[in-house]
A and B are shown apart, each in its own frame.
Chain A
């Protein structure tokens, strides 16, 4: 009988818990903090621009967005005697240019997206997707200077044609025959800049079209166009509208490219072919260099108006894309 006594130590029962460890709490805190940065930044932008522009909103009231002027009068000592700021021509110019741009860009983008999704041979598709993505990464100064050198003469020629054949419509009339630097040309460069955005969003939405329905349509003997009309378009309509609104937001905030081709004048101009236009972002860039401190406040207020405008457009775009984009009907 030589059994050695072994003592068994029974380990304590492990505590099983769903309570997160300390490291996890820190991790979650840091990540949540990082995630909230966008909220903080947007809030700060709003707050600081409002703080700096408050004097202007107070003195100009609603006139800041309903009138059209930019006058500062100084006395001999350089003090400001009177000042008047109003943005209506710039706001209307911004809205006209970006709406025309979206009107032209959306049909082209949707056609391109349809071609790439359903018609193009694989090699062409791969090449064009790369090219369009590359175009989305081009800096705006490149578009701006190209537009000034190449697009302006061509665009002015097209504008002359439009004026010649459709001049009886008030929007296309142009008594002064000045075609350079018109809102029409600014719209054309915006078209080129937003086509890649709208195309890639439309392509994404079309690619989510339910495959079983596509195949069912083909199996019933549908041609490609019949399939697109019956399946893809009902599925993608609201998503494409959302993508168009994203393009609209981008077009409204574009600065440098519009600045190089548009002749900024403080007068509301509905004749899109006439070389007089307005644009809030370009106005800020134009006035900023020689602005007095008081004018800078007015520019901050203008920036706030632009910020709110793009925010509204982007939010509604996001709502449209998210609430309808992924669902089939």
Chain B
């Protein structure tokens, strides 16, 4: 005889998931949230604890007090502490996100005004930064940045990947010191890299600005990024592949060139893209070495070369309303480039290594 309280049709019974928040829990949390907003907005109005900062602080304190004391009454001390920490770390994460949202919002809202088609194919040789926004452009700056980055890429990618290969394939006695040195190199301030090229090449040899020198300084900054990311990628290649290559009679050179590197191809491209993203907006060495050109220059070895950071820097320094708007537009374009590079790196990085 089945008791009548036990259902016979189990299709209508939903499984219990005690580890998930039930809709009742969610409603209570939302209620506490709304209550905290209410209390803190009242306190902002009535007490001296005012402004956005005051609101945020009082909201966090009130929310923490209510949730923690509720947990304390329901389950006791341990759970109350857990809730307290949970809210605290969530607030930390929220604080981390605020500046990036503000940065993107500011750049987009102030930068879109200066956009017009001519921006991308005109240069500033006949215009000052203070001119109205519908004349002049940053075509020369985009070309300059592309040339700077491209030459730096040619120099630094082989060095970076060779360093990574040494660390993963040869694993010699020097692995540990080299890993140390790559780490140290990634900490070299960009201005010091610029000063180094200035003192080693510009002062004694060329005595004049050129974008090639800028690229050399950028290469110094790019090598560690490429090397470290490539090392991580090459470490992911299963050792079986290497052993299989050697067992088939391949030399180490053939194994690395025909098996390991092709298997890691998309990861290595990600490493290069991350390196490019690191240097695309680098300002200080470009200001020291590449000079600042206001017209199209396609020759990396001579003459001042414009670049996006220089364009932004110069417009920002000019100070008038139009010039500042130009700087924001330049930042908008630079941000778009960084976005595109980052998305490309994500896309390639998410694909499985070994394909």
**A278 sits at the interface (CB 8 A):** no
Segment at the interface with B among A82-90, A173-181, A209-217, A299-307: A299-307
Q: Which of B102, B178, B181 has the most CB of A within 10 A?
A: B181
Tell me whether B81 and A111 are in contact (CB under 8 A).
no
A-B contact count (CB 8 A): 263
**Which chain B positions have C-beta within 8 A of A116?**
93
In the assembled complex, the Cα of A224 lies from the Cα of B53 at a distance in Å of 30
**A114 sits at the interface (CB 8 A):** yes
Q: Which parts of A80-118 form the interface with B (CB within 8 Å)?
A: 107-112, 114-116
Partner of B163, one of A34, A135, A253, A311: A34
**Which chain B positions have C-beta within 8 A of A115?**
89-90, 92-93
**Which chain B positions have C-beta within 8 A of A130?**
346
Q: Which parts of B298-341 form the interface with A (CB within 8 Å)?
A: 309, 312-313, 316, 327-328, 331, 334-335, 338-339, 341
**A315 sits at the interface (CB 8 A):** yes
Known: A44-B200, A134-B342, A195-B96. A31 touches B162 (CB 8 A): yes
Known: A30-B162, A112-B89, A115-B92. A300 touches B187 (CB 8 A): no
Tell me whether A146 and B102 are in contact (CB under 8 A).
yes
**Which chain A positions have C-beta within 8 A of B100?**
131-132, 134-135
Partner of B283, one of A30, A141, A195, A250: A141
Q: Closest chain B residue to A252 by CB distance?
A: B189
Tell me whether A161 and B288 are in contact (CB under 8 A).
no
Known: A35-B174, A226-B82, A284-B191. A41 touches B220 (CB 8 A): yes
Task: Count chain A residues whose beta carbon lies closer than 8 angstroms to a beta carbon of B.
Answer: 91
**Which chain A positions have C-beta within 8 A of B107?**
142, 146
Q: Closest chain A residue to B193 by CB distance?
A: A45
Task: Count chain B residues whose beta carbon lies closer than 8 angstroms to a beta carbon of A.
Answer: 92
**Which chain A positions have C-beta within 8 A of B106?**
146, 149-150
**Which chain A positions have C-beta within 8 A of B277?**
137
**A26 sits at the interface (CB 8 A):** yes
Segment at the interface with B among A46-54, A56-64, A70-78: A46-54
**Which chain A positions have C-beta within 8 A of B224?**
38
Tell me whether B187 and A311 are in contact (CB under 8 A).
yes
Q: Which parts of B172-203 form the interface with A (CB within 8 Å)?
A: 172, 174, 177-178, 180-193, 195-196, 198-200, 203
**Which chain B positions have C-beta within 8 A of A327?**
none
Q: Which of A26, A48, A158, A250 has the most CB of B within 10 A?
A: A48
| Contact residues of B: prevailing secondary structure | helix
How near does chain B come to A108, taking the closest CB pair, in angstroms? 5
Q: Which of A21, A41, A116, A313 has the most CB of B within 10 A?
A: A41
How near does chain A come to B242, taking the closest CB pair, in angstroms? 14
**Which chain B positions have C-beta within 8 A of A250?**
187
Tell me whether A36 and B189 are in contact (CB under 8 A).
no
**A268 sits at the interface (CB 8 A):** no
Tell me whether A140 and B283 are in contact (CB under 8 A).
yes
**B165 sits at the interface (CB 8 A):** yes
**Which chain A positions have C-beta within 8 A of B253?**
23-24, 26-27
**A166 sits at the interface (CB 8 A):** no
Tell me whether A253 and B95 are in contact (CB under 8 A).
no
Q: Closest chain B residue to A127 by CB distance?
A: B97
Q: Which 6 A-B pairs have the closest CB atoms?
A: A139-B281, A34-B162, A111-B92, A253-B189, A35-B166, A314-B187
Extra A-B contacts (6), CB below 8 Å, given A48-B196, A49-B192, A134-B339: A34-B162, A115-B90, A119-B89, A142-B334, A157-B51, A310-B187
Interface of B toward A, CB cutoff 8 Å: 51, 53, 78-79, 81-82, 84-86, 88-93, 95-97, 99-100, 102-103, 106-107, 110, 158-159, 161-163, 165-167, 169-170, 172, 174, 177-178, 180-193, 195-196, 198-200, 203, 220, 223-224, 227, 251-254, 256, 274, 277-278, 280-284, 287-288, 309, 312-313, 316, 327-328, 331, 334-335, 338-339, 341-342, 346
